[in-house]
Structure formats: structure tokens, C-alpha cells
Amino acid sequence: MEIAKLEDLLYEDWTWRKTEISELIILAETEKTNVLLKSVILLLYAHWEGYIKKSSKTYLKFISDNQIEASKLTDNFKYIALKGLSKEVFNSRDTLTTNNELKFINKFNQINETTIDRFIRIDLENERDKSIIDTQDNLTPAVFRKILDIIGLKYLNGYESKKTHIEHNLVDHRNSIGHGNKRLSSNEDFLLEIASLKELRDIIFLIIENFRDDIIQFAKEGYYLRDNLGLIENYCTSKEDIISRELNAIQSRYNNE
């Protein structure tokens, strides 16, 4: 996969999701019924989880398709390789035999000399595949952080500042609605009204679009390579300032309404 193809896939997948959410919010803003307001939460969560999962897998496919030796990649990719080898052992009929364990040790010692496509096999059309990227069907900020660790991206302080807001107002409320409860999970600071939903939308959009841009930048600059580890810190520091300012701007905008 070429970088241009990766970029196209990431933008195309986000465009239709963003359009759906925007159209539903316009409808909810006009009608102002509880059913539509709840639907916004359900759809926003669906695309939050769907996009993070799909784009993470797309990035891993990009890495895999380039057939880079594991020794040249950052350590998170060695974790993926080790996880794949462990799965092979535990799935084997000979799991408890010394011979099988020795084979595992031999393969483990050869990880650095093996290209990463040996361990990362991505089928972008298989929505049920959780072998590497697993949202646990409940994409909390903690799960999001684990996914970033797996693919080698930074969990920014700005994300952490909105951890409670996302966990309670998006994930918990989605679960409450999805389980057929009449009321949302208790949170006195969140009102089921269009302004609160638009603020939540803006936060999720910002995080998703920054996540997308990070993937593209990591691919273009080769931040997945061990030799470029020193460059990642400078990039992430600059992003920290940008995200913090934009999140503060969102909060100020809705606090003043």
C-alpha cells in the first residue's frame, strides 16, 4: 500500500461517517425529540468506534504491505509479532510439549530478522477480526489508549483531559440507550439537548481527525521506524499544544452559549 492510498482510505472512511452524523444532528436540531437526540449519541458512538478500529487496521496493513524487518520497527510492532507467535503456540495441538515450546523460542529469536508481514495479516473487510485491534465493543478512553499503544501513536494529554467527558457522556450513555433504558446513565452535568450533543460531537470530531492526521504523518515521516524515535517527541509536543488550544476553544464556545 502506498502512502497516497492510505491517505485516501482514511479520508474516504471519515467523510461518509462525518456526513451521517452531521445530517442527523441537523434533523435533531429541527425536531428536538428525545428519540432523535438519543439517536445522535448512538450514531456518534458507532462512528467513533468504527473509525478508530478501521483506520488502525488500515495503518497496520500499510506497515505490513511494506514488508519491513521487525528489527527496524518500533517496539510496539514486536509486541504484535510476539502476540501472534503466542497465539500459534496456544492454538497448537502440541501446546504442552517441549518440542512445540522450543519451536516457539526459536521463532521468537528470529523475530528481528523476519519481515513484519509474517505477523500482521489484515483483512480490512473483516469487521469481526479482533486479533490485533480490539475495541472490546466498548471504546472507552482507556481502550483507545491501548489501541494507540499497539499501533505506536501517542495518547495526548488533551485526550486525557476529556476522558471523563467521553466515558460518561458518550460511552455510558450509549450503553444505557443500547440496553433499552428509558433514562440516560446519571450525570447531572449532561443534559439531553442539542447544545450538549454538539459539544460532544466537536470533541469526538477533533480527536478522530487528529488521530487520522497522526497516522498519515507517521506514515509519511516513517515514525514507525526505530531510527526515527527521536523525531516523534518533537512532533507530539507540537500536537499537544494544538489539541489543548482547540479543546479549550470548544469548551469556551459552548460555555458562552
For the chain, the domains span: 9-68+135-255
Cα separation, 221 vs 244, in Å, equals 23
The mean per-residue pLDDT over the stretch 147-171 comes to 96
> What CA–CA distances, in Å, run from 35 to 32, 173, 252?
9, 13, 28
Question: 128 vs 104, which has greater pLDDT?
Answer: 128
Dist. CA 221–CA 66, nearest whole Å: 14
Average pLDDT, the chain: 89
Using left for φ > 0, alpha for ψ between -120 and 50, and beta otherwise, residue 192 falls in beta
pLDDT score of 67: 93
pLDDT of residue 147: 97
Residue 256 confidence (pLDDT): 74
Burial class (CB in 10 A: 0-12, 13-18, 19+), 101: middle
Q: What angle do CA 98, 102, 104 make, to 5 degrees?
A: 120
162 and 202 Cβ atoms separated by less than 8 Å:
no
100-127: average pLDDT: 75
Q: What whole-number distance in Å separates Cα of residue 257 and Cα of residue 254?
A: 5
The x, y and z cell numbers of residue 13, run together, are 472512511
In contact, 59 and 66? CB cutoff 8 Å: no
**Whole-structure pTM value:** 0.90
Write the pLDDT tens digit of every residue in 204-214: 999 999 999 99
Of all residues in the chain, the percent with pLDDT exceeding 70 is 86
pLDDT confidence tier of residue 188, bands split at 50, 70 and 90: low
Q: What is the mean pLDDT of residues 129-150?
A: 95
pLDDT of residue 96: 54
What pLDDT was estimated at residue 226? 93
Is residue 202 over pLDDT 90?
A: yes
As a whole number, mean pLDDT of residues 92-120 equals 68
Q: Provide, for the chain, the percentages of residues in helix, strand and coil under a 3-state DSSP scheme, each rounded to the nearest 5.
A: 75, 0, 25
Chain segment 28-80, per-residue pLDDT in tens? 999 889 999 999 999 999 999 999 999 999 999 999 999 999 889 999 998 88
Band of pLDDT at residue 109, cut at 50, 70 and 90: low
Q: Which of the pair, 114 or 248, is modelled with greater confidence?
A: 248
**Separation of alpha carbons 257 and 55, rounded Å:** 34
Average pLDDT over residues 150-177: 95
Phi-psi region of 139 (alpha: psi -120 to 50; beta: other; left: phi over 0): beta
> DSSP code of 226?
G
Q: Is 69 helix (H, G, I), strand (E, B) or coil?
A: strand
The C-alpha atoms of residue 130 and residue 151 are separated, in whole angstroms, by: 14
State how far the Cα of 152 lies from the Cα of 62, in Å rounded to an integer.
13
Tell me, what's the pLDDT at 156?
96
170 close to 48: Cβ distance less than 8 angstroms: yes
